[in-house]
Structure 1
Amino acid sequence: MNFYSDYHEERNEFQREPFDIFWETNSHGLLSIKDCNRPMRPLYRRGASPLPMNRRQRKISFLNSCLVGAGIGFFLFVIFISGWYLYRHMGFIEKPNSTSPPILMSVDSLFKVPDDKPAHNPQNRIVGYYKAWDSQVITEYQMSKLTHVIFKYLVMNSNQTLAFKNNLEEMKFFDLMKRRSQSPELKIMVSIEITGGRKKEEDFNTVIKSIVSFILNHQLDGVDIDWRYPTPVDIPRQVDFVKSLREAFPNPQSYIISMTASGLEWKYKYRIKLKELLVHVDFFNVLSFDYYTSSITGPPAPLFSGVGEYRGYNVDRTMKYFACETGAPGKLNMGVPFYGTLWRNVGASPIDNLDEMWRVANGTSHIPWRLLKKGILKASWNKNAMTPYVWNAKHKTLLGFENQKSLEKKMVYAKKKNLGGIVIESIGGDDNENSLLAVIAEQRFIVERNDVNFKC
């Protein structure tokens, strides 16, 4: 049984042989017969339906349509490329400036076209720690302004697997995951706190398997390793740990691994191997704050300055150490606190008569910005530390904190020093208007170079 219908099986006077037919491209699309001795038959009979085409005719018609379509497409493509080239390089079409009204659709919005900047010039990271244990729930606005959110902390249970401390923290985590579709570009990570003293390599292998399993099961983007205080034995193990962790992922380069680093790393006797770690780590979250103990006052994150034995205990010295040691400032996130530090029982006389902010004290506590904002009536500005403070002689208290002005100074500093980003401790400390996060988001910059801009 032939595939074709009976009409095709039985030749009639209008059926053409395959090699007797060619397509004449005139306005009527007529078919003509090569044999001039055979009379030309009309393609259509009056009052009858058009004759069906055989396989040869259909194939030729299809190929001709493809050729015509390809020709038109190529012609339009040449016009598009020529116009784009004139727009981008020749200056024949005026480019809109920053004050021009918004354009509804541009060429770059239709196609991803390589721009004039090198590929390693992304916008700086805005990383926010999201504490599992505080009462604040991350908002849609905060998720839209952050590039990375790190949920902390997960703990190791008795079975050596990752777990939440309680049901409330677990609910907070799943609420975050449920709303991730609101900000599809946001990277969601979890933080794991690792303590030293593990004597067996099998212990680390178990931790690695547990981390990878948790990341894959919950479709997270990566993990932040908080291992700030390793023992001397642990320091070389850190490198092996992050290397093995990277290799344990099914597609290693598709997952983010970051590490938390202390702002006072430069003063420790046993220091972590920064360069070796950066081979396997995407970036460091440098906690460049909390320089002063309960015995001496000062802001939580002074950009410069210091006094007495604490001279040089500031953000600049910390970031200089990390940038000079690694040679990669683009892989460093500078820490900023969304809280203030309150000192009590502060001495009446300053340590330095030229700067009243530095005093002897006894006892400290941290207060989130959302609670500080309403209570601060008048603050002083320390031009050396580039931070605000409030000295209350009557109550013998001194409050150091961050505000919009101090964060603007830090963002300018981060751009000047080619730092890769900012890490916030923590996002829940902001007020309902997100006044601190808004400053950081508005001051976001392009990381133009990865050169060390410090005198090492």
Structure 2
Amino acid sequence: MKKYFTVISLILTFFNNNPLNAKIVVGYYYANYSVYPYTAIEYNKLTHIAHAFVKPNADGSLSMDSWFLYPELVAAAHQHGIKIVVALGGWGNSDGFSPMVANPLTRAAFVSNIIDFCLTNDYDGIDIDWEYPTASDRSNFVSLVKELREALNNVGLEFLSIALPSTDWNNGYDVKQLINYVNWFGIMTYDFYGPWEKTSGHNSPLYPSPLQSSSTSSSVNYYLQKGIPKNKLCIGIPFYGYDFKASELFAVHSGASAINYASVYQNLISGWDYFWDNTAKVPYLMNKSRTEVITFDDTNSIKLKSEYVYKNNLAGTIIWKIGQDYFNGSTPLLDIVEKYMLHHPRNVPSIPQLSFPFNGAVIDSDNIIFKWYATDSTTSYNLQVSENENFDSFVINESGINFTEAKLNNFENNKTYYWRVSSSNINGNSSWSDTWSFITDFPAFVANEYYAAKDFKLYNYPNPFNVQTKIGFTIASDAVVNLALYDILGQQRDVLVNERLQSGNYEFIWDANNYSSGVYFVRINIVYPQNNRLMRLNKSIKILLIK
């Protein structure tokens, strides 16, 4: 009896004293022992592992694949101070649930068998992934969960959780009863679109959009209205997406298949076009021939989902499944989950530095790409453009920008504009950056071929490279030169040159010791004064870093 009250006390302390800061990060581990072995897992980036799956049988017995038992995984989790639970059921493994829970005798046998299994194999609890109970199973499911909770408490095991569909379309979950026995509910807020739908669509949007009403936020609101407390609700984050044979997003497809993030990234670096749905707050890719669309989550969308968890005081997240972002020894998606979910920024971000348009620049186009440098622990940026340096009124006043640039147009000719940027996260906004100005001058002007073709060069060697590469360029006359480095997502990572230079040849060494392997782009912007007007030239080259 003393052990029972100790466990209950621990559970209540976890959920009542840490509703905001002690977030849950549950990584499902399934069927990837050789590609992503237990030695590759960065356990400090998780709070729990759900080891999937053990199958319940109608008679109350258990079955599992021959490869399921993985004592090294269990031992490593405990050695690193995190908990590991056994996940029951899953897609295609849940047929035994309904007949088992309907009979008190088989239900009791199942409870006894799974408790013995946990004790024998050193699991810390149970995750129920029944896909899916129906209305006729509601009361029996509650009985199962109640009996599991009592049995777990009796042997000193802490955790009992339930994976929920995005909505309870079968009316199979009596959540008002279940919340009394469950540590957390993990909503499977993914698979909103897939091969079963007629058109392509987002796999896991954060917010609804005009063409897709289903979303993570919609599912959260649905279950909150059903009575699940915020501090027992986890959203789902997928480390995979869907590759649709379609001409565009929300177009009819001729087939689709799941694709893990590691493969999505390979398409990124091979030249697929990246798009961002600023309403749904998720990305998608399209190939150059416009015959395929991939919807997925990346580091930007996961930042925003992490912030959503904090803003709404939710318990945390479940991940299906860890290892799908594992390549070249790195896990970029799990890194972001750890940084923004487990160790969410506690302070406002630092003030961004502006990059382009240069202070005092004369701009010869009404399509302007504003650029600034990324600041750490930032989820979005705010941009203001005004016709006066006091910003008493605004030409542009845009917030929620998720990248370090914004393309804007419709500026008037022969005017001076002022612009500034601030960084944002859940803690608030940074102070505004320095204010820079630019002047618009839109002449009808054709670039001189002498500059454009004969003496304008950009090159680098070696390429590919593993530590350092030499980047060089030639300019034909005095000019303002900006030479910058961008990653595959278009994020500016470094500036090598940003100054006025005389005509001639220039070379610079880029040291990539602190950068990860992948494709990068070097872009040069050159502004020549000519006949009291400005001529801008630009060029980009792709370089490959292999470590």
Which TM class, normalised by the smaller chain length? 0.5 to 0.7
Shift, 1:132, TM fit = 3.0
Q: Report what 1:150 is aligned to.
A: 50
Partner of 1:120: 18
Are the equivalent residues in 2 in contact too, given 1:246–1:252 (CA < 8 A)?
A: no
* Corresponding residue for residue 230 of structure 2: 329
Question: 1: distance between equivalents of 2:58 and 2:179?
Answer: 31
Out of 38, 54, 59, which is 1:138 matched to? 38
**Tell me, what secondary structure is at the counterpart of 1:126?**
strand
Aligned to 2:74: 177
TM-score (norm 2): 0.54
For residue 410 of structure 1, report the CA deviation from its aligned partner.
0.7
| Deviation of the 1:174 alpha carbon | 1.4
The RMSD of aligned alpha carbons is 2.4
- Name the CA distance, whole Å, in 2 between partners of 1:138 and 1:179: 7
How far, CA to CA, are the matches of 2:300 and 2:167 in structure 1? 25
Partner of 2:242: 341
Preserved contact between residue 264 and residue 291 of structure 1 (Cα < 8 Å): no
Which has the greater radius of gyration?
1
Q: Which residue of 2 aligns with 1:427?
A: 322
2:293 is aligned to 398
Letter of the 2:254 counterpart: N
Report how far residue 402 of structure 1 moved. Answer: 0.9
Shift of 1:408: 0.5
Partners of 1:250 and 1:398 in 2: CA distance: 48
Partners of 1:413 and 1:158 in 2: CA distance: 40
Match for 2:334 among 437, 442, 449?
437
Contact 2:194 2:203 in 1 (8 A): no
Q: How does 1:110-259 map to 2 (within 5 A)?
A: 119-121=17-19, 122-132=21-31, 135-139=35-39, 141-156=41-56, 160-166=60-66, 168-170=67-69, 173-184=70-81, 186-193=82-89, 194-195=94-95, 196-198=97-99, 199-249=102-152, 251=154, 254-259=157-162
1:371 aligns with 2:255: no
Residue in 1 that maps onto 2:215: 314
Residue of structure 1 equivalent to 2:307: 412
Asked if 1 retains the 8 angstrom alpha-carbon contact of 2:244 and 2:255, the reply is yes
Letter of the structure 2 residue corresponding to residue 442 of structure 1: K
CA distance in 1, matches of 2:156, 2:210: 44
> Which residue is equivalent to 2:249?
357
In the TM superposition, 1:46-65 aligns within 5 A as none
**Post-superposition offset of 1:393:** 6.2
Aligned 8 A contact 2:298 2:333 in 1: yes
The AA in structure 1 aligned to 2:234 is N
TM-score under structure 1 normalisation? 0.64
Contact 2:60 2:107 in 1 (8 A): no
SS at match of 2:42: helix
Identity between Structure 1 and Structure 2 (%)? 26
Q: Deviations over 1:234-258 (max 9, x none)?
A: 1111111100111123536642000
For the structure 1 residues 264 and 396, does the alpha-carbon distance in structure 2 shift closer, same or farther, using more than 3 Å as the test? farther
Q: Which runs of 5+ in 2 are unaligned?
A: 1-15, 345-547
Question: CA–CA distance in 2 between the matches of 1:280 and 1:386?
Answer: 34
- For 2:333 and 2:291, the matched residues in 1 are separated by 28
Work out whether residues 140 and 182 of structure 1, in 8 Å CA contact, stay in contact via their aligned partners in 2.
Answer: no
The whole-number CA distance in structure 2 between the counterparts of 1:446 and 1:428 is 21
**Pair 1:395–1:380, CA change in 2 (3 A):** closer
8 Å Cα contact 2:74/2:122 also seen in 1:
no
* Shift in CA distance, 133/443, structure 1 to aligned 2, threshold 3 Å: closer
8 Å CA contact 1:223–1:257 kept in 2: the answer is: yes
Contact 2:208/2:218 (8 A) holds in 1 = no
* Deviation, structure 1 residue 145: 1.2
Tell me the amino acid that sits aligned with residue 149 of structure 1.
I
Secondary structure of the 1:197 match is helix
Give the Cα separation in 1 of the matches to 2:58 and 2:192: 35
Q: What is the deviation of 1:180?
A: 3.0
Shift of the 374–133 alpha-carbon distance from structure 1 to 2, 3 Å rule, reads closer
Cα offset, 1:307, TM superposition: 4.5
Counterpart of 1:282?
Answer: 183
Distance 1:179 1:252, change over 3 A: closer
Task: Give the count of matched residue pairs.
Answer: 314
Q: Tell me the CA shift for residue 419 of structure 1.
A: 0.8
- State the alpha-carbon separation in 2 of the partners of residues 140 and 367 from structure 1: 21
C-alpha change, 1:161 and 1:197, in structure 2 (3 Å) is: closer
Aligned partner letter, 2:213: G
3-state DSSP of counterpart to 1:428: coil
Of 207-216 and 393-402, deviating more is 393-402
Q: Which amino acid aligns with 1:119?
A: N
Q: Give the 3 Å change call, closer, same or farther, for CA 416–250 of structure 1 in structure 2.
A: closer
What do residues 29-70 of structure 1 show as CA deviations (whole Å, max 9, x unaligned)? Answer: xxxxxxxxxxxxxxxxxxxxxxxxxxxxxxxxxxxxxxxxxx
Quote the Cα distance in structure 2 between the aligned partners of 1:312 and 1:119.
Answer: 35
Show the counterpart of 2:400: none
Tell me the secondary structure at the aligned position of residue 98 of structure 2. coil
Structure having the higher strand fraction is 2
What is the match of residue 173 of structure 2? 272
Letter in structure 2 aligned against 1:226: D
Relative CO higher for 1 or 2, CA cutoff 8 Å, sep ≥ 6?
A: 1
Gaps of 5+ in 1: 1-117, 349-355, 448-456
| Residues 235-283 of structure 1: CA deviation (Å, up to 9, x unaligned) | 1111111001111235366420000100132xx1524111110101110
- After superposition, what is the alpha-carbon deviation per residue over 1:302-354, rounded to whole angstroms, capped at 9, x for unaligned? 1112445xx4211110011112222411101110000121011x2x4xxxxxx
2:521 maps to which residue?
A: none
**1:340 counterpart letter in structure 2:** G
